[in-house]
Amino acid sequence: MSEAATGRLGAFDATDAPSMDGLRACVHCGICLPQCPTYRVLGEEMDSPRGRLYLMRAAAEGRTGLTPTLAHHLDLCLGCRACETACPSGVPFGQLLEATRGQLERRGIRAPETDRATLDFALNLFPNPGRLGSLLGMLRLYQWSGMQAVVRGLGLLTPFKKLHAMEALLPPLPRAPAPLPELTLARGRRRGRAGLLLGCVQRYFYPGVNADTVRLLSAAGWEVVVPREQPCCGALHLHAGRLDDFRGMARRFMAAFGDDVDLVVANAAGCGSALKAYGHWLREPEAEAFSATVRDVSEVLVDSELPLGELRETVTYHDACHLAHGQKVRSQPRELLKRIPGLVLVELGDSDLCCGSAGVYNLLEPDIAQELARRKVERIRETGARIVATGNPGCLMQIAQQCRAEGFAVEVVHPVSLLARALREP
């Protein structure tokens, strides 16, 4: 039987195989190479988009198998999708990467270099609010008892690279916030009903961002619904190629939101990008309809007139990859920040180059991640800004930890936090 008849594509089987048209769209021009963070750091063709596409296509054409070497080069990819933005041929790199990772995962083909234990730990932790809540309780105790100051001061974790990388990311933890109201009414003219995604990291590490988002949406005329039982959206599982787990999580997430909202609003770039991909990966009309309702918070607020007072600050903006490259949302957050009277927005060099966070990449590949964070902070210093704004909790943590490590006093915040500071409510 021919490959076309079986649905097989060379070394790939028919289940979620990467698109041959997508792979063939690459004309090897190399325009994407200078935009690729791993190519910039490692300087290796096989750690560039073109090299990775070459490997995927060779597997699809049966010239090579799905090997641990191929898995290794894909594991080193941040999944930032900067190559997609740069590519003049429209290569859908993100989908090809996720499909190939899906095949590798399902068949247990793994790179020996990859730290599976840390990846499995993260993938099991985030979808489980009970485990995440218990861990958070312990981390609060660690931080508030003064133990963290001792551990950091004496560098006790420095010999343990991964543990050190994880600990260094920990932002100052707030007290457990009161749950947000399940329903917040719109102020002024009602524009519709928006459901808010709380996000696993956002809700526990930056709960103020969610509270600010509700305030702003309400001031912009949106009635805000916050479903209490919100499962994880599955973004980490999608990027890791755990596609069946991802689809299960997506279905549970959609069920939690029901169908009585006009929009689903995300303030975490990685989560928003995953929600917008439900239609592609589930291939069901309900999922396509759901994805069509998803917006980043900046896409919603930019169409409203918020009453903003003065905020005399110099701010720079870092483009989170899954906002700029994954969702093509670039102008809206900048436009909103520029509307704040007194705020001066200074453009950041390489603003859309990954900071190294990339889901749990900074835990799996701390050396590359730290080098990217170092370069990011170098660019931030050049702006002279006192505040860095960015629309993803992973980027907030990653940039803040590098600034702390360098003793560089800059505030790292979500753009909605600045808008909420400037909001003048009646």
Query: Residues, the chain, total?
Result: 426
**Minimum CB separation from ligand SF4 for residue 160, in Å?**
27
When the beta carbons of 40 and 215 are compared against ligand SF4, the nearer one is: 40
**Minimum CB separation from ligand SF4 for residue 394, in Å?**
15
When the beta carbons of 24 and 187 are compared against ligand SF4, the nearer one is: 24
**Minimum CB separation from ligand SF4 for residue 372, in Å?**
10
Closest CA to 387 of 406, 374, 375, 400: 400
**Minimum CB separation from ligand SF4 for residue 383, in Å?**
23
When the beta carbons of 10 and 37 are compared against ligand SF4, the nearer one is: 37
Please report where in the chains the tokens 């930032």 appear, as a residue: 80
Closest CA to 66 of 21, 106, 28, 37: 106
When the beta carbons of 83 and 119 are compared against ligand SF4, the nearer one is: 83
3-state DSSP assignment of residue 76:
coil
**Minimum CB separation from ligand SF4 for residue 50, in Å?**
4
When the beta carbons of 38 and 298 are compared against ligand SF4, the nearer one is: 38
3-state DSSP assignment of residue 78:
coil
**Minimum CB separation from ligand SF4 for residue 358, in Å?**
8
Closest CA to 203 of 191, 189, 214: 214
CA geometry: angle at 63 spanning 57 and 69, to 5°?
A: 75
When the beta carbons of 77 and 186 are compared against ligand SF4, the nearer one is: 77
Largest CA distance in the chain: 71
Amino acid (one-letter) located at 290: F
**Minimum CB separation from ligand SF4 for residue 404, in Å?**
25
Q: Is there a contact between 382 and 400 (Cβ–Cβ < 8 Å)?
A: no
Q: Which residues bind ligand SF4 (CB under 6 A)?
A: 26-32, 35-38, 49-50, 52-53, 77-83, 86-87, 89, 91, 93
Rounded Cα–Cα distance for residues 270 and 358 (Å): 8
Q: Which residues pair with 266 in a beta bridge?
A: 296
When the beta carbons of 90 and 342 are compared against ligand SF4, the nearer one is: 90
The conformation of residue 155, written as its DSSP 8-state character, comes to: T
Rounded Cα–Cα distance for residues 216 and 300 (Å): 10
The DSSP string of 279-321 is HHHH--HHHHHHHHTEEEHHHHHTTS---B-----EEEE---H
Indicate the pairing of strand 314-317 with strand 263-266: unpaired
